[in-house]
Structure 1
């Protein structure tokens, strides 16, 4: 059942002009006091509403809302938003154990225990985008890297769309804008013991939406950035999240077509550069020459050609 707050929000959004408290009260069949209280509660949640002697006017507000993120593939009933969580990846794992119907999306305003590949912690200020998508693909483990690549391409294209700029992808799971990392992607999977096939895939994304450069810890200021570093983003997080997963499911529906891997290659800032990495206790460096159709990085070193798997290797340097 739609609450008075949601009804008021819907009316103000549709009008975009000043709407009197009297008109709101008459339309909804409640008192003027009830309208005032509902407006106050909306403001406490983060909605921006201008007050005038003759009524109220809605201002664009960046409050996460499942109804504004939802789509045909991700209905609002499959989107779960928390104000605070340890990790959206963990939320998705618990949901999988509880037989949550997938796909399902888990989002948090604040993440206390977020981590990247190999368990690395990361800077997680409030007001950015922390989300994990739960899928049930019933595929083999060899196909897991394609989900990371699909997510990276979808994220990159969505950010390009809203900024008019060209993002780049660092093999295998980081998105860069103007030389700085703005997003990391983490993929994990669980399988059936007997079948050896994937039961669930979870794609976690941490996106720096709008952070002023000086707000980053000193150790990150030279290499971390955000999509809108100057503040006052022209879009909301809801819009970006919605477009990311729209692109993702469009790419997923297009499989086994490999067009997405061509986009991934074109956006790579690793190909053609010298990279350094550790493998089986040894440090190697060489030229990154190719990304295979399954997402592996081929590097020509003095010790021969090395084919790197994203689940095993992390690049130490690119130059």
Structure 2
């Protein structure tokens, strides 16, 4: 449904040329929810802007819903929905007017537009909010309206840019339910950018990790976490010398790291192997003070791939190249 090959984009500034995206290649199959992970300035939003035809690539090619993003820009737009991080609804407009106006812009008659607005209002629990001004809605209500607006024309592909940014945990969980429903009930393909690693882990079928304008990893969340070598097992002892005795026990496929009073190692599917390990230690007469098993997270994956946590920006990132474009770039926008 989405296919990118060598997609690149450079921005001209007064000081230099910024390579925001440097040859991105990936595929998204029909009916997938794929997450785009990366720090500010990594190239996520710039890539999405190219895929949604808002800016043209400097080089490379991409197809969305079977149409080239440069040669068939109008066809791409007819088959996609885009929900930006800031939203697009007018704050002084009524929620219902926003839905009906969007439907009219897509060529629907007044009766059809009204019917479609009502249909979306019922699906996204907006029925009681249609007469209210957008400015009076809560963050979660406004995001539901944003997504409903992006779905007015029944797109095949939906792009979500930081869909739950700024929402409280309950509103985020509710929005995840709507996103899953779009895939499960409507067969929609979704590409979302996010800084929330728990969101990507729980919601996405696959994740793309982008850093420095390049995709550096792409797989399922489970496979990426498994690539770190398994769960971290930490065995704590209190008597002098017991840590060395624990480490001397044979744990197939592990390389114990021994510190004073602590032995730790990585083991795939540690939870199922833990009883056997404890039996071995008990038979060896080694008492333990505590046992802890920590499953790897996507944050651990990102740290392993890039050397820093997702929330830690690089000093050399400078201005955000995926943010507001300089005047020389705005000229490319349709």
Whose helix fraction is larger, Structure 1's or Structure 2's?
A: 2
TM-score (norm 1): 0.24
Higher relative contact order (CA 8 A, sep 6+): 2
Which is higher, the Rg of structure 1 or of structure 2?
Answer: 2
TM-score (norm 2): 0.23
